[in-house]
Structure 1
């Protein structure tokens, strides 16, 4: 079964709440010394994320009709509701983590000319009311092993799996001269859905600043494949720890390149995130 494609190569601004895809972001930070360094410690994190989302949406207007290509970068965007939280556990060397993310983005623009029909130029009197929404959930589960435990620099290797369940919806209402577009295709929508599972491998760590270790520079990278062609992400920033609470600000980039036939060709999130972590 073939799907309409969403090829993400333009830029739109989206506002969503989500956690770091790997709770290890915060577990890598400096923590107060324990009487037993091998005792299990736990963390709970919540993050806010303000990314840019790029894209061009391709859909078939009707059976045998021309395709409609929408420049998503020109659509106004808004946040409906998104939530994410993460939980981690580690005993110094070994650790495990899980994270759940829920996305809900919406973009729309009335009387827009930021699209094409059949890949050709638009007639001068053609416009469309366009609407694009993206709903999705991301679940990450994995384990980690600390390979460097220097007081100034820590480094962990990680491996796990990530699920991405997505449902993009494109709606259009073409106004004016539609060229070869038949009347039945002037108004329409497409809403393909798909779930992708991928294995991921990566590393994370932090560089402590100052004598007390309250300030640190966290960093993270992972890459993987499976049902998607390639997924990877990178993040870096700064954090401040006070007793059992830590505040973190990072810049994060997340990428998905889907295999042929998937409803999304590729997807990019890029922007700042801030969050808080509680440890016990």
Structure 2
């Protein structure tokens, strides 16, 4: 079952704790607009796989201990229940729409650490320095929506300028074992949090032959509105299989630094990507 899910997509999580995400889509080759006096329409849908490793610092619950995470792709897969990634891209004449969706469900994630003075629902007030053992299930949803304009449109090169927002929603169900001086107590705790980051970026496409092309895309955002900073970058080599299908392979990096209201989510995902595109 997990092998089948890998084909559909992939994300993160490992033995310590985690989540992060994002979001530059895998996009296949597409021809520049033709100056015909009529609007040129294009629509592409791309499910893709991202074989990413993870490193960073994350708190499994609000005001919980901040845990260092460093996981390879195989480590991340051990706790994956389901991961789905989808990119949607559309163009009308020189106007661009880009959408990227991600949903990930993981379980049996585990972390230990020392707590600050904290009150945990179901367990009450916990003194500072208390050792805690946490196991949790996590569900993560991310959507990046951008609109833009084709600044350069020639047979040799296209360049798109994009701006929009990246939406995050994290849900954690945590089971805690708190080690007190005279024994331990157990409790369960669920929480949800999310934020929105403004983002802006560029996308460049360069045809090499009739079927082969290169593409690069990057964005930057956050600026304290949601996260302190987020950025992503993607480079792919694309090959046209038929008039409607193409494949893309490359490398992607997604970085986010969020620390607010007792939550810490400072991570970087990086690794190879592989996408299959249907073009309407």
Question: Any gaps of 5 or more consecutive residues in structure 1?
Answer: 1-10, 120-126
Hey, what's the Cα distance between the residues in 2 that align with 1:105 and 1:197? 22
Please, what TM-score do these two structures have when normalized by structure 2?
Answer: 0.71
Give runs of aligned pairs for residues 86-101 of structure 1, distance below 5 A: 86-101=87-102
Over 3 Å counting, the alpha-carbon distance change for 1:59 and 1:259 in structure 2 is closer
State the shift of 1:278 in Å: 1.2
Distance between the aligned counterparts of 2:218 and 2:61, measured in 1? Answer: 37
Superimposed CA distance per residue, residues 20-65 of structure 1 (whole angstroms, 9 cap, x where no aligned partner): 8355x426x233876847321111111122222234454689x9xx
Match of 2:107 in 1: 106
Check the 8 A contact 1:22/1:97 in 2, yes or no. no
SS across alignment from 2:82: coil
Match of 1:201 in 2: 200
Q: Which residue of 1 aligns with 2:43?
A: 42
- Separation (CA, whole Å) in 2 of partners of 1:189 and 1:69: 19
**Deviation sequence 1:207-266 (CA, Å, 0-9, x none):** 2223x2x11121111111222222211111211113221101121111221133252331
Aligned residues: 242
CA RMSD in angstroms, aligned pairs only? 3.6
Q: Any gaps of 5 or more consecutive residues in structure 2?
A: 1-12, 117-130
**1:60-139 correspondence runs (5 A):** 70=67, 72-73=69-70, 77-108=78-109, 115-117=112-114, 131-139=135-143
Residue 154 of structure 1: aligned partner: 158
- Output one character per residue of 1:148-202: Cα deviation in whole Å (capped at 9) or x when no partner: 223233211101111110124444547xxx5x656345x3455432121121100
CA gap of 1:238–1:195, structure 2 versus 1, over 3 A, is: same
Aligned partner of 2:125 in structure 1 is none
Picking from 216, 221, 224, the partner of 1:224 is 221
Relative to the length of structure 1, the TM-score reads 0.71
Cα distance between partner residues in 2 of 1:256 and 1:208? 31
Aligned equivalent of 2:212:
215
How many Å apart are 1:136 and its aligned residue?
0.9
* 1:30 alignment partner, SS class: coil
> Which piece of structure 1 moves more, 88-97 or 67-76?
67-76
Distance 1:157 1:131, change over 3 A: same
